[in-house]
């Protein structure tokens, strides 16, 4: 089963672009999205988007928001959306998580000089997250793996991260997740303690001996989790959550009996 994805559609690019709809897709619908990406005029693009959203609504393929309705997301701009599609200068451009306009008419565009800055109009004035997500700003840059975890509390987020680290992906894995997994040896096991009061995930890693130089690389990779599943805020606002990475000792299974079974890859606790 494919992961769900969020999509925004615009006529034009930049702060004055016209938003014409959004969808939270529960399935891939890749063919329909690819067809939109081949539009040759603004009218054709708008018609294809309108037809796609209507068909998805009728077929219950996702949560649809049409032009003229309130902005559907908790994040204030399309920097938090998985895929943003915009018709501009005679073709369709696509940005992934607001990082850069990396696709043009369905073809990948490598980075280069003179790229159009990724700027979106504000769908809302502030970020609508609460709880562990409470930091009101419209300037955040959202991590590439945030996706549907924006609905999760810290406990649920910990479960999702453990699943992403230890279980096969139900569909094609995002490139950033593939890159993260490549830095983590497959024999490692994890205990995550979700500290609700401090919004911190304490991650204990099993599988290294004292002094193993590879342990430092693993710890460094895991400290990137807040940027992948949360956000960075250039204004200095707090992150969605923090991490603390520890190397577990050989006797840790005495306090967590489930870890005595060497087949247990992951355990989550909450304090």
Ordered by start, the domain boundaries in the chain are: 5-125, 147-270
DSSP bridge partners of 106 = none
Q: Which of 74, 255, 84, 215 is CA-nearest to residue 149?
A: 74
Structural tokens at position 179: 């890159």
pLDDT at 240: 84
pLDDT at 126: 60
Between the alpha carbon of residue 110 and those of residues 84, 102, 114, 234, the distances in Å are 17, 7, 12, 26
Sheet holding 200-206, edge to edge: 242-247, 200-206, 189-195, 266-270
- Ranges of the chain with pLDDT below 50: 1, 130-136
DSSP letter (8 states) at residue 125: S
Q: Which of 227, 101, 112, 106 is CA-nearest to residue 176?
A: 227
206 in Cβ contact with 196 (< 8 Å)? no
Q: What is the DSSP string of 189-204?
A: EEEEEEETTTTEEEEE
Q: How far apart are CA 118 and CA 140, in angstroms?
A: 13
pLDDT at 63: 92
pLDDT at 133: 45
CB atoms within 10 A of CB 54: 13
């Amino acid at each position: 089963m494919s992961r769900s994805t969020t999509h925004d559609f615009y006529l034009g690019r930049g702060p004055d672009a016209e938003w014409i709809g959004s969808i939270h897709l529960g399935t891939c619908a890749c063919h329909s999205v690819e067809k939109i990406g081949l539009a040759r005029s603004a009218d054709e693009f708008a018609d294809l988007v309108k037809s796609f959203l209507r068909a998805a609504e009728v077929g219950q393929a996702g949560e649809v928001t049409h032009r003229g309705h309130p902005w559907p997301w908790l994040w204030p701009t399309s920097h938090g959306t998985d895929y943003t599609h915009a018709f501009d200068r005679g073709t369709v451009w696509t940005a992934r998580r607001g990082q850069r306009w990396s696709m043009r008419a369905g073809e990948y565009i490598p980075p280069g000089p003179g790229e159009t800055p990724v700027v979106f109009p504000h769908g809302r004035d502030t970020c609508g997250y609460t709880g562990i997500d409470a930091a009101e700003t419209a300037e955040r840059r959202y991590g590439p793996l945030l996706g549907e975890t924006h609905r999760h509390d810290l406990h649920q987020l910990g479960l999702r991260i453990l699943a992403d680290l230890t279980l096969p992906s139900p569909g094609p894995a995002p490139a950033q997740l593939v890159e993260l997994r490549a830095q983590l040896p497959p024999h490692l096991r994890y205990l995550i303690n979700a500290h609700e009061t401090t919004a911190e995930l304490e991650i204990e890693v099993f599988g290294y001996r004292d002094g193993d130089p590879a342990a430092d690389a693993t710890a460094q990779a895991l400290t990137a989790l807040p940027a992948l599943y949360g956000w960075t805020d250039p204004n200095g606002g707090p992150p969605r959550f923090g991490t603390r990475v520890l190397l577990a000792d050989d006797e840790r299974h005495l306090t967590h009996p489930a870890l005595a079974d060497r087949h247990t890859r992951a355990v989550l606790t909450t304090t």
